[in-house]
Amino acid sequence: MTRIATVLMALVAGVFGGVGVQFLMPSDPVPTGPGNAEIRAVVEQVIAQQPAPEAPQMSVAEIDPETLHPMIENYLMSDPKILQRVSNALQDQLRREDMELAQASLARFSDQIYNDPDHVVLGNPDGDVTLVEFFDYNCSYCRTSMPDIARLLQEDPNLRIILKEFPILSNESMEAARIAVAVSKQEDIDYWTFHESLFTARGQVTGQVALDAAADLGLNPVSVELDASNEEVAEIIQRSYVMAQGLNISGTPTFIIGDEILPGAVGYDALKERIDNMRACSSTVCDG
């Protein structure tokens, strides 16, 4: 017997003093006869007062951290290579995201990177692959990379190298960069010899060291120093700063090959591999 039926029986029994009655459900037709209308009214009133059935509550099991943490640790310890796989996957994902951002930036600054009439071009000006370097004459890692650049120039007749002055380490670096830009404007000058002499000089590379190197090439140091003070020279260096900021370049050396920005002294092998890949598949990384 349901709870409603029990209540109704007690209620009717109390109202009618135990007189025999016929109990009705709401869906039953109301029979005729004395008292049936009153009984029906009582039934409907009791049913209307019943609360709506509540939706079943879903219980969520909670695990004590003191129980959960050892379970996770035991799982990872059972196969420590899981952490290595997770780390590798994270590195791959971050590398892909960095490359996507770099490619967007390179596309935006493509004209300034490759077609600036004031940058220094070494090697084959019509080469099929271009290597760009942002450098500072007082950067020890740039000094380390110079033999790699020299080797690439010697071995690869179809390589075009663009040098971007990016003096960020000291005022002396800025002075040397301004002299270097002025020297690059001189006709019939072996710029690579000048460039190499600064990176092989002992101690800090200053404006005076750069002027001495210019004099060794037969240039008048007074004339070169005057040229270096021109606003045009400052604008050329400023363009490198603007490009570096747009490309998120903050250190030297930084190389650009195709669709990739390579920070640091990555070495000959890494540069050579990317140059070869550019020729093979037009990207620094070839599938397969």
Beta bridge partners of 260: 257
Quote the CA–CA distance of 101 and 114 in Å, as a whole number: 19
Would you state the pLDDT for residue 129? Answer: 98
Would you state the pLDDT for residue 82? Answer: 82
Q: Are 229 and 159 in contact (CB under 8 A)?
A: no
Comparing CA positions, the residue from 73, 157, 130, 116 lying closest to residue 274 is: 130
Q: What are the residue ranges of helices labelled H in the chain?
A: 3-16, 36-48, 65-78, 81-108, 110-115, 140-155, 171-184, 191-199, 207-216, 221-228, 231-246, 268-281
Mean pLDDT calculated for residue range 262-272: 97
Comparing CA positions, the residue from 138, 177, 175, 145 lying closest to residue 161 is: 145
Mean pLDDT calculated for residue range 273-279: 96
In the structure, what pLDDT confidence band is assigned to residue 60 with cuts at 50, 70 and 90? low
Is pLDDT at 150 greater than 80 in this prediction? yes
CATH of 105-281 given 1.10.1240.10, 3.40.140.10, 3.40.50.880, 3.40.30.10: 3.40.30.10
Provide the 3-class DSSP secondary structure of residue 163: strand
Q: Which residue has the higher pLDDT, 84 or 224?
A: 224
- Name residue 273's amino acid: E
Q: How far is CA 51 from CA 46, 47, 279, in A?
A: 11, 9, 79
Comparing CA positions, the residue from 144, 103, 104, 115 lying closest to residue 260 is: 103
Comparing CA positions, the residue from 162, 158, 183, 153 lying closest to residue 115 is: 162
Quote the CA–CA distance of 248 and 243 in Å, as a whole number: 8
Per residue in 189-228, pLDDT (tens digit) is: 999 999 999 999 999 999 999 999 999 999 999 999 999 9
Mean per-residue pLDDT of the chain? 84
Going from N- to C-terminal start, the domains of the chain cover 3-48, 105-281
Q: Which of 8-12, 78-82, 260-264 has the lowest mean pLDDT?
A: 8-12
Is pLDDT at 283 greater than 50 in this prediction? yes
Would you state the pLDDT for residue 62? Answer: 73
In the structure, what pLDDT confidence band is assigned to residue 12 with cuts at 50, 70 and 90? very low
Is pLDDT at 46 greater than 50 in this prediction? yes
Q: What is the DSSP letter of 286?
A: -
Mean pLDDT calculated for residue range 89-97: 76
Q: Are 138 and 176 in contact (CB under 8 A)?
A: yes
Q: Which residue has the higher pLDDT, 237 or 24?
A: 237
Comparing CA positions, the residue from 151, 158, 150, 153 lying closest to residue 126 is: 158
Q: Which of 71-80, 90-99, 249-258 has the lowest mean pLDDT?
A: 90-99
Q: What is the dihedral of CA 21, 27, 28, 29, to 10 degrees?
A: 120
Residue with tokens 């390579």: 262
Would you state the pLDDT for residue 42? Answer: 60
